[in-house]
A and B are shown apart, each in its own frame.
Chain A
């Protein structure tokens, strides 16, 4: 079965850090770009960032709202993508989804919740 499973969410204080993981199965992970998308409570979808594949030198793209604070990485040997979140703000509170990039975002994880609060 093709699936993505996120983990690592939780409660963190403003200014803190958190690392989210997304484990892939059922497809050739290394063949795909991978993205992160978030959704604040009761709000719409916001694209967070992307990591390309090895042939594209694993280059990354970020939304302006997270650039310099968040970092996307991947480990193709573990079929996993990561989102390192530093200097967290209350407005980063959201459900975070990883997604496989095909012709659109064709596979999504179930999401992991991040709450930034003191």
Chain B
């Protein structure tokens, strides 16, 4: 496992469609974080998950956005009924424990047309 794997790298969706972004953490990492980067801005925290649990979703928009990290398989960030303002780079990071030693993936660039 070379690192945190995100797919797809690029995703184009029409307004109103659903977007599913996947993140496989580094081997042995059980903590996953999602961040969003809007154009020309820094990364903004969205959600922090451990296996089967959402620990902190204080950065998630209240509607249309959801995240999960099931017992088996990757973490999924789901955006329903996408709008143009959802166009951004979405980064996933993982850690071994509850610390600041993040490893980031290469991101998924979502474009809503």
Same complex: no
